[in-house]
Amino acid sequence: MRIACAQLNTVVGDLDGNLALVREAIRDATARGAHLVLTPELALTGYPPEDLLLRPSFAAASREALEALAPEVTEGVAIVGFVDHDEDCRNAAAVIANGRVQAVYHKRFLPNYGVFDEARYFRAGDGPIVLDVEGARIGIVICEDIWYPAPVAAELARARLDVIACISSSPFHQAKGDARERMLQTRASDSAAALAYCNQVGGQDELVFDGRSAVIDAGGEVIARAPVFEQHLLIADLELDLAAGRRLREPLLRRLEPLADSAPVIIEATLPSASGAPSPVAPVAGPERELWGALVQGVRDYVGKNGFPGVIIGLSGGIDSALTAAIAVDALGAECVRGVAMPSVFTESRSTEDAQTLATSLGIRMDVIEIAPVVDAFEAQLAEVFDGRPRDVAEENLQARVRGTLLMAMSNKHGAMVLATGNKSEMSVGYSTIYGDMAGGFAPLRDVSKTWVYRLSSWRNLEAGREVIPEATITRPPTAELRPDQRDSDSLPEYEVLDPILEAYVEEDLPPAALVERGFPEDVVARIVGMVDRAEYKRRQGPPGVKTTPRAFGRDRRMPITNRYDAV
C-alpha cells in the first residue's frame, strides 16, 4: 500500500485557501499513486480555530468545503480533517473515495491542558472506526487519541489492523519531536500495525507546528520522515504482510480478545498505480537548528498571515535585538526588515556602531534617531509633578517609552510591524519596561531564555561561517543603558544562575523549597520567585511570541494577576 502524508501549512478560518491546499495535495499524491492520503487535523478550517467554533456558520462552512472537495476525489482514499456538526461540534476526519464521503470518525480524546481547550468546543467521539480498503484494515485516530496506550490504541490493536492512520496538529516545543516519534514507534510496535502520522506545519499565533510527519512500519521502524518546518508531501510504500506476520508471531495479541463490533466499513475505492520512488527518511535536526527553524517559521507566518509588509526592530547594539533581526531576515528577507538605533545620553558609541555593523552584515536598512531631545522634553513637562523626588526608575523608563513611541509611529506610517526583542528571562522577572521595550506586535524571543539567546547567536555564526551577529555583541556584558554604567547584573543574578531557577520554577512548576534543595541560595530563590510573581501584570500586556518550551507564559502558564498566595 502506498501512503501519502500531506504536511500542510493551513491558515485558521481561510477555508477557501485551505481547501485549495488540500485539493492540490490530494491531486499530487494521486498522481504519484498513493492509495491512502492523509491531511492534518482540521485541515479545512486550520488549527486551532478557538471561538470560531462557537459560530454555527463556521461548522457549516467547513462542511461546505468538504462537500466541494469530495466529488474531486475519484482515485485513492483521502482522510481529511474538518469540523463536523451534529447538534454539537466534533473534531472529525472524513474518509473520501469514489467522489463521496463514505465514513466519518470523531476524535475521542480531547486535550484540555496547556495550550489546548478542546473540551470547551467539541463533543468527544464514542467509538473506533475500522476501514476495509481492498482487504487492508485501516484504523483512524486524531492526534491526542494516539498519545495514550489505552483505550483508543489498545482497541485498535485488538482490531488486528494493518495500518493506523493518524492525522494531527501537534504544536512544537523543544525536544517534543523526538519524544513524539518514540511514542509513535511504540504504538506501532505494540499494535503490530504500520502507523502513518500526518502533522500540520506552520505558525498560528503563538503556536508553531513542526510537521515531522512519519510512516512507521509494524516493527516500529521509521521508513519515511518529512522535514521539519516545510510543507511536504511524504510518500511511503508499506508491506502489509509485515503487519500480518507480526500478529502471528506476537503472543500478546493472541491473548487479547478481538474487538467487539469491529466489523470494518467497506470503502469503495479506485486505487491508482504507484509512480516514482517513495520519500526518504529526512534527517533529524539538531536542537539549535530546530529551535531556529521554529522561530523563523513563527515570525514568517505571523507577519505574512496577518498581512504586514515587513517589520521594524529597535537595534540597541545588544544581543537580543541582534538575534531578533537575524531571525527576521531569515524569515522575511533583508528587504522586509528595518532597523532603528535610538541612542540616548547614556548610550555608548560602541552600541550604535555595533548596531550598524549588524545592519551591514544582515543587509538591512538602519535609521538613527537621537532620543535625547525628546526625553528632555518629557522631563521638562514632568518637572513640576516630579519636583522634590530624586531621579530613579521613572526617568530611566522614559527613555524606553520614547523608543517604543517612535517605533510605533514608524509602524503606523509605513505599515510594518514592530518586533519586540525581549527574551524569556527578562519577561519572567519583569526586567522590561511596559509600553517601552515591550511595545510591538510580536516578540519572537518571548519564550527563549537568555542562555539560549547566546547559544543560538553563536550557532547562527557557526552555521554561516561568518559573523552574522558581531562577536563583539555576543561577548559584551548585557546592559539596558538607561543610566550610567548600567549592567543587567546590577539588578539580576548572572544568567547562568538565573535561567536554571526560572526553568525550574516556571516550566517545571517546582516550589521554592525544591529549588533550595537543588542547591540554589535561599535568598536568591526568594527574590527571583517574588519578581516572577509580581511581573504577571506586565506579561499579560506584552505581545505574543513563539512557544518554544513545554510551558510558555500566556496560553500555557495562566496565573492570576491579582494573587496573594505566597509561594516562598
Which of 320, 348, 325 is closest to 432 using CA atoms? 320
pLDDT at 459: 97
- Tell me: pLDDT of 563 over 90: no
pLDDT above 80: residue 439: yes
Same domain, 391 and 249: no
**Residue ending a domain, choose from 442, 461, 488:** 488
Tell me what pLDDT residue 562 has. Answer: 83
Q: How confident is the model at residue 157 (pLDDT cuts 50, 70, 90)?
A: confident
> 472-497 pLDDT, tens per residue?
999 988 776 666 776 777 778 899 99
Mean pLDDT, range 7-26, rounded to an integer:
97
For residues 109 and 182, membership in a common domain is answered with yes
Q: Report phi then psi at 405, rounded to 5.
A: -65, -40
Q: Are residues 229 and 341 in the same domain?
A: no
Domain identity same for 317 and 206? no
Band of residue 262 on the pLDDT scale cut at 50, 70, 90: low
pLDDT of res. 510: 93
Q: What is the pLDDT of residue 491?
A: 77
Structurally, how many domains does the chain consist of?
2
Q: Is residue 131 part of a domain?
A: yes
Instruction: Flag whether 511 is in a domain.
Output: no
Note whether residue 504 is domain-resident: no
Q: What is the predicted pLDDT for the residue at 565?
A: 80
Statement to judge: residues 324 and 456 lie in one domain: yes
Of the CA atoms within 13 Å of residue 358, those in its CB half-sphere come to 37
- Say if 105 falls within a structural domain: yes
Is residue 386's pLDDT more than 70?
yes
Residue 318 lies inside a defined structural domain of this protein? yes
Contact present, 535 and 428 (Cβ < 8 Å): yes
Is 368 part of a structural domain of the chain?
yes
Confirm if 450 and 439 have CB atoms less than 8 A apart: no
- Whether 559 maps to a domain, the answer reads no
> Which cell goes with 392?
530613579
CATH of the domain at 351: 3.40.50.620
HSE at residue 138, side-chain half, CA atoms within 13 A, is: 28
Residue 4 has pLDDT above 70, yes or no: yes
Do 422 and 432 contact (CB within 8 A), yes or no? yes
Instruction: Quick: pLDDT tens for 204-251.
Output: 999 999 999 999 999 899 999 999 999 999 999 998 877 677 766 665
pLDDT digits (tens, 9 = 90+) for 306-335: 999 999 999 999 999 999 999 999 999 999
Q: What is the mean pLDDT of residues 411-433?
A: 95
Does residue 68 carry a pLDDT above 70?
yes
Answer yes or no: do 439 and 300 share one domain. yes
Looking at the structure, do residues 385 and 472 belong to the same domain, yes or no?
yes
3-class SS letters over 7-76: ECCCCCCCHHHHHHHHHHHHHHHHHCCCCEEECCCCCCCCCCCHHHHHCHHHHHHHHHHHHHHHHHCCCC
Burial group, residue 221, by CB count within 10 angstroms (0-12, 13-18, 19+): middle
In this predicted structure, the answer to whether residue 378 has a pLDDT above a threshold of 80 is yes
Q: Is 352 left (phi over 0), alpha (psi -120 to 50) or beta?
A: alpha
399 in a domain, yes or no?
Answer: yes
Looking at residue 169, the DSSP 8-state letter turns out to be -
Which of 447, 468, 488 is where one domain is finished? Answer: 488
Single residue among 464, 488, 512 that ends a domain in this structure: 488
* Phi-psi region at 435: left, alpha or beta (left = phi > 0; alpha = psi -120 to 50): left
Confidence (pLDDT) at 153: 87
Question: DSSP string of 431-463?
Answer: -S-TTTTT-SSB-TTTT--HHHHHHHHHHHHHH
- Say if residue 376 is in the same domain as residue 409: yes
What average pLDDT does the structure give for the chain? Answer: 92
- The residues annotated with a catalytic role in the active site are 41, 107, 143
Q: Which residues pair with 104 in a beta bridge?
A: 94
> pLDDT value at position 490?
72
- How far lies 447's CA from each of 77, 313, 324, 412, 424, in Å? 40, 18, 13, 27, 5
Average pLDDT over residues 502-527: 93
Radius of gyration of the chain from its Cα atoms, rounded to whole angstroms: 26
Region 96-122 average pLDDT: 94
321 and 202 inside one domain: no
- List of residues 6+ apart from 63 with CB closer than 8 A: 82, 83, 84, 85
Tell me: the pLDDT tens digits for 455-472? 999 999 999 999 999 999
How far apart are alpha carbons 452 and 459 in whole angstroms? 10
Say whether both 48 and 184 belong to one domain. yes
pLDDT at 258 over 90: no
What is the per-residue pLDDT across 336-351, written as a single tens digit (0 to 9) for each?
999 999 998 887 888 8
Range of the domain at 448: 290-488
pLDDT in tens, 440-449: 999 999 999 9
- Whether 262 and 340 share a structural domain: no
244 and 313 within one domain: no
CATH code of the domain covering residue 146 = 3.60.110.10
